[in-house]
Structure 1
Amino acid sequence: MQPTLSVITIVYNNVRDIERTIRSVLSQSYPQIEYIIIDGASTDGTREVIAKYENRISQYISEKDKGIYDAMNKGIAMAKGDYILFMNSGDEIYAANTVENVFATRPGADIYYGETEMYNDNWESLGRRRHQVPQSFTWKSFKYGMNISHQAIYVSRKIAEPYNLEYKYSADIDWIIRAAKKAKVIVNTHQYVAKYLVGGISKQKHRESLKERFHIFSKYYGFVPNLINHGIIAFNLALYYVKNRRTND
């Protein structure tokens, strides 16, 4: 029996991108999808776009929330599927057969993950994320940075806890680590699974986001090891930019 995937889209005043995200979900060849949209009471025409597809959306609410992670928690509470995937407004499931291919890799995993392609505001490809996904993933894999995108990880609802609202910018990192600590079987699908629109709250509040990430990593990996790991992250980042500068010259 095929598992049901609950795809959750969080949106607030993003009339420009919401339809592209909705279409990427509704065009999937995989039949067992529950589609949930949580709108934060948009006023820019977003709700009118959603209304065009309402008969194909499993659950939809539009109301004020306390931020993106509060909205995500609403989505988790509403989800009835075997797995949860967050595909927020502006992002896309990679191709029409992606969900089908993900579940075909191996039955019954606790977590499936894959690679992400980045896109700019004009929806032009920027290529793969700088952090390549690890060959094998555990809860310790984030110690050198977040190497799996939030949009590229399918989590069993049995191990998906609510987001910790103590964090305003990086609660997704904490959420994935907690899920990975519970997971017994984690599968690398060895494929691109998501298209990610560069930006979002963690980019807009970059300094605050970095502070939160450091706190989260210290909580799980220890303060001193985290300091050492961040030194390695800084070195790898510098090396990445030097290599890319040479390539572009």
Structure 2
Amino acid sequence: MKKIISIIIATYNAEKTLKRCLNSIVSQKKDQLELLIIDGCSTDRTMDIVREFAESIDVIVSEVDKGIYDAWNKGIRLATGEWIMFLGADDYLLEGAMNVYWNYLKKHTLDGIDIITAQSKLIDAKGKYKRVFGNPYNIKEFRCYMKISHGSTLHNRKLFDELGNFDISFKICADYEFLLRKKLNARYIETPTIAMQVGGVSNTIRGLWESFKVKCYHKSIPHSLNVYYLIKGIIGYYMRKMKVIN
């Protein structure tokens, strides 16, 4: 049966956080929700945890892949939902999150809408709340920064038919590159729907550099401004590191 929302989770050695993630989804799962696990041949207990939840998971794949975006591309091909969501294995749905999405989808006419963004609560590795993240989509702002909360975003399946898959040559910012391919028709839910753990590779020097390359590729902003944001980001990164050390 065709679903309304598909949640795709790419995993690789995610035993420390995956159970928390899956519990948050299974407790809110309805017939209209499809859950896909695309694993990259984990060598820890990830697949043991997946098997514990097998009755609630619609699609399970475990095979060698070329990174998270390769896994997401596989998930897109297997998903049947009208809307697709990519949730990190170290993130989780907040209580009542799916009702937020169901109610929004029921109450609004969404013909021609590409994405529906929401907010996320940022947490540290110990689960401590940091702040809320996720702005409404604004093309001028988006060309400079990835300001939307991608983990809490619903993507219209038709968007992938139109724009193709994620470019796996980008290892950190392929989601940003994908969404820069057109001016999106977006809606916004001003409510946090997921908890997202900070400290991923997108917040590293490698992440800053790849974001810089993505903006160069799309010529989304003037090169001088792009260089300025890169330098600003690097300085900010090292200042945060020094603050942690001190």
Fold conserved between structures, TM > 0.5: yes
Q: Which residue of the other structure, out of 97, 100, 106, is the alignment partner of 1:98? A: 100
Residue number in structure 2 paired with 1:168: 171
- State the distance in 1 between where 2:220 and 2:32 align: 41
Say whether residues 1:231 and 2:235 are aligned partners. no
Would you say the 8 A contact 2:69–2:166 is kept in 1? Answer: yes
Match of 1:177 in 2: 180
TM-score by length of 1: 0.81
Structure 2, unaligned runs of 5 or more: none
Whether 1:5 aligns to 2:5 is yes
Asked if 2 retains the 8 angstrom alpha-carbon contact of 1:214 and 1:226, the reply is no
SS of aligned partner of 1:115: strand
State how 1:146-157 maps to structure 2 within 5 Å: 146-157=146-157
Deviation at 1:228, TM superposition (A): 2.0
Between the aligned partners of 2:11 and 2:144, the Cα distance in structure 1 is: 30
Q: In 2 relative to 1, CA 214–157 (structure 1 residues): closer, same or farther, beyond 3 Å?
A: same
Q: Over aligned residue pairs, what C-alpha RMSD do you find?
A: 2.7
Runs of 4+ in 1 over 6 A off after TM superposition: none
2:100 alignment partner AA:
T
One-letter identity of the residue aligned with 1:175? F
**Deviation, structure 1 residue 36:** 0.4
Structure 2: which amino acid aligns with 1:36? L
**Could you tell me the percent identity over the aligned residues?**
29
**Counterpart residue type for residue 32 of structure 1:** Q
CA shift, 1:37, in A, is: 0.5
Q: Quick one: distance in 1 between partners of 2:138 and 2:31?
A: 28
Unaligned runs of 5+ in 1: none
Change (3 A) 1:67 1:213: same
How far the C-alpha of 1:199 sits from its partner, in A, is: 2.6
Measure how far apart 1:220 and its partner are: 2.4
SS in 2 for 1:150: strand
Question: Which amino acid in structure 1 is aligned with residue 174 of structure 2?
Answer: A
What SS does the corresponding residue of 1:66 show, helix, strand or coil? Answer: coil
User: What residue in structure 1 maps to residue 142 of structure 2?
Assistant: 142
Offset of residue 230 of structure 1? 5.5
- Structure 1: how far apart are the matches of 2:19 and 2:158? 30
Give the TM-score normalised by structure 2: 0.82
**2:57 and 2:29 mapped to 1: Cα distance?**
16
Whether the 8 Å contact between 1:111 and 1:154 is mirrored in structure 2 is yes
* Conserved? CA contact 2:7–2:84, under 8 Å: yes
